[in-house]
Amino acid sequence: MTILIQTLKIMASGVVLISCMATASNTVYLLPEAKSAGVASSDQKALMFLGMDRDVNLKGICFAMAKQSSSIVPLVDITATTNSGRFKMHGLRPKNNEDTKELVCSLGSEAGAFLTGIAKSTTVNVKMDFNGEIRIYSFNTTEFRKILTVNGQGVWDKAAKEYAQGVRAPIFYNNNLEATNNNTATSNVDTHSYEASDERLNLVWKNLSPETRKRLLPSQREWIKQKSDCNNEQKCLINMTNNRIRELESENEK
């Protein structure tokens, strides 16, 4: 579990600047606000994602659902079946101010065993018991399981690129209207020039040491937020990207 946490911290930290539009049932969605990634259920009514803390340490597994349970009991009994076995967990319901969504997280050793099971499985079936209210979901984990292995960097990178193009996880975000608008605007940009700068930026970032990337993470997040001020205007995006490249190259020379 410790090795897995260290691996995920490096992977999650390495994708935040990456600026592919399929949303198949096995699509892995980036969740920047949660410093995580997840996969939607086959009926698109639930999202299973990694439970990370503020320092990108893996703490367990979480589920976001489209409808809040009427149960007032803060605990949920979870039974999950994977290709490698069956797991029983206790889930907690964090305080949730949105009456249209339900959130359940399982932490600790129970969740750790389940995560190990996910890493070996292409399908995961989950049953949740909200004090008598039963919910059942099925997840295609063909791609999601890879982020729980040492070979998962490519999945993180793909999820980050799709997020930058407007792909948003169902349930976790209110709707995909904003994502659709963002993607339409992006398509009007002269992608050749911008992508060339973006690829160079990615290369510079990857050449930084893991320690430097971790140190620059806060400023990188702030830079990503500032990019939205460009409103997808090509000149603005390219200028911002080139300026960031120079900043990172100066760090590389230290």
> Residue 167 in contact with residue 158, Cβ under 8 Å?
no
N- to C-terminal Cα separation, the chain: 34
pLDDT in tens, 85-100: 999 999 999 876 566 7
Residues of the chain with pLDDT under 70: 1-24, 96-99, 174-195, 231-232, 234, 252-254
pTM value surpassing 0.85: no
Q: What is the pLDDT of residue 9?
A: 47
Residue 187: strand, helix, or coil:
helix
Predicted local distance difference test score (pLDDT) of residue 151:
82
User: What was the pLDDT predicted at 186?
Assistant: 39
Q: What is the pLDDT of residue 42?
A: 93
Four-residue CA torsion sign, 159, 162, 166, 168: negative
Burial of 149 (0-12, 13-18, 19+ CB in 10 A): middle
Which domains does the chain possess? 2-156 (2.60.40)
Which of the 8 DSSP states describes residue 144?
G
